Structure 1
């Protein structure tokens, strides 16, 4: 293996260890947040916010999606389209039943 390959591998290992450290810190933050004296709504919002950041780190670095910008945009647009269908489909049925 050449020195270039070895340096490239060490760079990836450094990134993975940094992401692992961030995930460990965020996990400790989640656990400590569960002991905070806040309302249930605030606790759920805080836990989901931390979980979103952790999921983004895992998807971006461990699943190598950080370089897949076009695919992510396509999936987000498709998700938004399905969201609109799920929101307006019941509305269409309600309008149909009230017209009778």
Structure 2
């Protein structure tokens, strides 16, 4: 990349560990899908999916090595998305 930026090359071991975590979380997702958690089915599924998305963003998309402006713009977008999803769930829950 030269003088304009720095390379962030992750080791194969770290990438393999992240891949292993993603595969384990996928197996946990499948396992939890067979369990009736009642009201908590959706929050648990969203939590597992969010954890997997966070791992992909941090390590495979190198968000972990970006500057604070990129990180804050991403965090604000996620907060906005969470608010919109909450309003959608709220609207569906209180329909007549």
Unaligned runs of 5+ in 2: 1-8, 85-96
Q: Compare CA radii of gyration and give the structure with the larger one.
A: 1
- Aligned residue pairs, count: 73
Q: From the superposition, tell whether residues 17 and 82 of structure 1 become closer, same or farther in structure 2 (CA, over 3 Å).
A: closer
Alignment-derived partner of residue 52 in structure 1: 50
Flag the structure with higher helix content: 1
CA RMSD of aligned residues (A): 2.5
TM-score by length of 2: 0.65
Give structure 1 stretches of 5+ with no counterpart: 1-8, 87-100
Partner deviation per Cα, 1:10-63 (whole Å, 9 max, x = no partner): x61000000000000000000000011211x31111010000000000011001
Question: Which one scores higher on RCO, CA 8 angstroms, separation ≥ 6?
Answer: 2
The counterpart of 1:66, out of the listed 59, 64, 67, is: 64
Q: What is the TM-score with the length of structure 1 in the denominator? A: 0.63
